Chains A and B, each alone.
Chain A
Amino acid sequence: MTDEGVRLVATALALVPLFGVALALGKIFSDWITSVARNPAAKDAVQPVGLLAFALTEAIGLFTLIIAFLILFVG
């Protein structure tokens, strides 16, 4: 395999953690919806926590993106 090929494979491998992020995001939103559906009065209490959890989890996905960019373009 050429250097360029190795680099492309490495970039693809760096994006594998997105699988976990996708599962986590699905879990967050499903729990959010379930909790609001079971107890609509809790909507305001759940919202900030849900948004925070969403942003923190999404950040992990974007970390992988940054690593992928570093592998692809730097060095």
Chain B
Amino acid sequence: MAEPILPYAIRQFAVDPLIPIEVFGIDVSFTASAQAMVTTVVVAIAYLLIAVRHRQFHPGRLQSSAEALYGFAARTVVKNGGEEAKQAIPLLTTIFVFILFGTMVGLSPIKFTFTSHLIVTIGLALLVFVYANTLAFRSHGVGMVKALIPEGTPGAVLPIIFTIELISYIFRPVTLGVRLFANILAGHIMVKLFADGCVMILEAAGLAGLPFLILPIAFMCILYAFEFLIVFIQAYVFLVLSATYVGEAVRGH
């Protein structure tokens, strides 16, 4: 059976290998996803380096924006994770900037969005999870397990409570990753669905269908503006939750 041609709304998530590389039978091709990530890192580093190139006491426009970005991330981490999460500011700020810039780059037309792939977001979430657990182990040792038992739990229900808490603890990185992934995926499908609709109208009615394109294109513009808001909120939510997890891990409850 021939593969049906999927609408662009679904097709946009296909990962095309740009430079096929194979090492010992494992596919490690340089893909569109990798290209988007490299672009993001280059853009973010270039922006931040150029912004602080001529540091001034009275910052210019560019330097102010970079300082505002960092200051916002750092303040959010301390506010949600407490003073104990201060040591996590560099890592969490980096992840925040990576997600924010990556998804913004992905919003430009005909560009791959790597945060719309579960493997990427789960990977980022696992990074935070492993980091938080390392911090918890360093400050509490094996006693970090006590964090999973609420104070004053009667002995009889202790195993049940412990199991439930353990499951919810293990599922934290999953929900953290899936939340970002699902938001970006749904947003991109919605925007591109209207684009597909425009193509369908043109195919069915030819140039006579042009006046009917006004409404879908207007919707697309509104959704696009909404997407920018969603991108920012999701990066912020990722930052807040990671900071909370790290703070909890260090405090031990």
Contact = CB atoms under 8 A, between A and B. Distances in A.
Interface residues of A, number: 11
A51 B76 CA distance: 14
Interface of A is mostly: helix
* Interface band, chain B: 10 to 19
Interface string A39-75: 0000000000001101110110011011000000000
Contacts of B186: 62, 65
B233 A51 contact: yes
Given A63-B178, A66-B178, A58 B236 contact: no
A34 to B, nearest CB: 22
B233 A54 contact: yes
Contacts of B33: none
Contacts of A56: 179, 237
A59 B240 CA distance: 15
B182 A65 contact: yes
B103 interface: no
B237 A55 contact: yes
Interface string B227-252: 00000011011001000000000000
B31 interface: no
Interface centre among A51, A52, A55, A58 (most CB of B within 10 A): A55
Interface string B144-187: 00000000000000000000000000000001001101110110
Interface of B: 175, 178-179, 181-183, 185-186, 233-234, 236-237, 240
17 contacts: A51-B233, A51-B236, A52-B237, A52-B240, A55-B183, A55-B233, A55-B237, A56-B179, A56-B237, A59-B178, A59-B179, A59-B182, A59-B183, A62-B182, A62-B185, A63-B178, A66-B181
